[in-house]
Every structure is written in C-alpha cells, then in structure tokens.
Amino acid sequence: MKLGRLNHIGVATPSIEESIHYYRDVMGAINIREPFDMEEQGVKVCFVDTPGYDGTSGTQIELIEPLGADSPIHGFLAKNPAGGQHHLCYEVEDIDDARKWFEELGKRILGPTRIGAHGTPIFFLHPKDMMGQLTEIMQTPEGDGYWSN
Amino acid sequence: MKLGRLNHIGVATPSIEESIHYYRDVMGAINIREPFDMEEQGVKVCFVDTPGYDGTSGTQIELIEPLGADSPIHGFLAKNPAGGQHHLCYEVEDIDDARKWFEELGKRILGPTRIGAHGTPIFFLHPKDMMGQLTEIMQTPEGDGYWSN
C-alpha cells in the first residue's frame, strides 16, 4: 500500500455550534460546510476546510458531535469533555485492496466497509494496532480539490 | 486572523524507530525525513510526508519521542502508552500578529515564541482554551511545497 492524502482529521466536540464559532472567530476559518446527521454512525458531522499549497484544498477538519444516546463519541467526550483529536483519515485508491492489505497484516478492522461522510466507502482500524491512532481509510472522493474563499 | 495551512499533526510515540517502521511498512509512507533531536524542547522529532492534491505536499506527520528525563511528552505517554495524536499545527503569515491576536482573545500561550522544528518561529496554545486541541502556530516556512517520490 502507498500512503495516500490525509483527507481529514476527526475532532470530537460536545457542540458543533460552539466549534463552528471557535473555528470561524478564533482560528479564522472561511469555508465551513453545512453540518449534517449520520444517524447510522451516531454522529452529527461538520467539515471545516483548510487551505493546501498552491490553491489546492488542504486536509479538512471533521467535527463530530454525539447523536443519540448510543453514540460512540460519548465515551471519548467522557474522557475529554472539551473535545479533542479523535481520528486520522487517509485516502486510498481502492478500498477493497486496502481492506485486504490491513487484514493480511493482522490489523483489527472495526466493522464492515461502509459509506462515509464524503459518500465513498470507508472503514476504521483499531487504535491499539495503529500505534495509538484511530485510523480511518477512505476511498478517494472525486473532485473538490481546489480551495476557494 | 485567517486560517492557514495545516502544516503538520504532532503524533507522540514511545519509539520513533518503531513509528518509522509502522508508517513505512504498514501505511506505505515513502518520504520519511531524518530524525533529529530538539534538546531544548526535550523531544526527538521525525517528519513523515504525506501527498497533497495535484503534486503538492500535504500535511506532515511529526513524530515526537521523549528526549531526556524532563521531556514534556512523558506525561502524554503515561496516559497513552502506545502514543497517539498530540497536537495540530497551523501556519500563519506573521507570528507576531498571530501572538497578539490570541493574546487579545485571552488565550493562554505556553511560553515564549521560539524556533520550531522547521526553523521558523512557533508558539503553542493551551488545549483548554482551544476546545481540547493542543495547538501550535508556526510562521509559514519557505519552499518545500512539492511532493516527490
């Protein structure tokens, strides 16, 4: 496997509304997408764009807020009430090849391959097998590579 | 202030040697820089490059291993023995303007502005004032914007 683009950093938050205020008014973010619910994952999600080099889009920040009583984010926020860095997401060209690669290395994959927040297939790997980093692998989405503000 | 490029993600590790093996042989990283000591900061550092869009360099991973008995990373590793995500670093055009911006917002700045691992001035902000994210602000380094492998 070849290391792909760092598509986004997942950041857990007790309140996307408060995080939007923080990213806009403290950090100076310009492009903040519309929040949306991912009910099957138990999260509300909002992407903050960051600029890359030379007019390209950089790594996004994915804000994730618990949705519902069974949200997997509750445990993280119990330990980190203010929120914080939750996962790293790398792109791959082919999700099935990547799944096979990690399976053959004996890495624990958390659940089936499913459709993620960008509409392309994704899966997560157990942080204990990934040097402490909860790692999402996603098939590269099309387009959207250029920064505008 | 205007949100700058996400220059790197700091990832603490008990062993840069082991992390290099992980990033190269598990994640498929190609460009891994030479590790070096930052004695004043109490850390050994190693940068892993990731690709950005369209032939540009993406956000780097900064591996940080404790150096010496007083390293500030020991506390993080005591809580996270396998390592994990430690900080986020954003670029700004002018470090003095950025410092003044955060000071006026009442954000706690951790120590003086100093020269960071890329040779440009940096400072850190307290995670409790930054929605749980230990945040490094660095003045944009010159050059080095293009990915090669």
Average pLDDT, chain A: 94
Q: Is the ipTM of this complex over 0.90?
A: yes
- pLDDT for position B148: 59
Tell me if A9 sits within 8 A of A79, measured CB to CB: no
Q: What's the pLDDT band for A144 if we cut at 50, 70, 90? A: low
| Residue of A62, A65, A91, A136 with catalytic role | A136
Q: Which residues pair with A10 in a beta bridge?
A: A62, A87
* CATH code for the domain defined by A6-139: 3.10.180.10
Contacts of A59 in chain B (CB under 8 A): 6, 58-59
- pLDDT for position B18: 98
Cβ-Cβ contacts under 8 Å for B68 (sequence gap 6 or more)? B39, B42
Contacts of B3 in chain A (CB under 8 A): 23, 27-30, 48, 50-51
How large is the average pLDDT for residues B68-81? Answer: 94
Tell me if B60 sits within 8 A of A5, measured CB to CB: no
Contacts of B6 in chain A (CB under 8 A): 9, 50, 58-59, 61
Q: What is the pLDDT of residues B42-74, one digit of tens each?
A: 999 999 999 999 889 999 999 999 999 999 999
Substitution target from B30, B133, B144 for chain A, most A beta carbons within 10 A:
B133
Q: What's the pLDDT band for A143 if we cut at 50, 70, 90? A: confident
Spatial distance between the Cα atoms of B100 and B6, rounded to a whole number of angstroms: 20
Indicate the domain borders of chain A.
6-139
- pLDDT for position B142: 83
Annotation says A136 is catalytic: yes
By Cβ distance, the residue of A4, A50, A81 closest to B5 is A50
Spatial distance between the Cα atoms of B91 and B138, rounded to a whole number of angstroms: 5
Chain B nearest-CA distance from A51, in A, is: 5
Chain B nearest-CA distance from A38, in A, is: 22
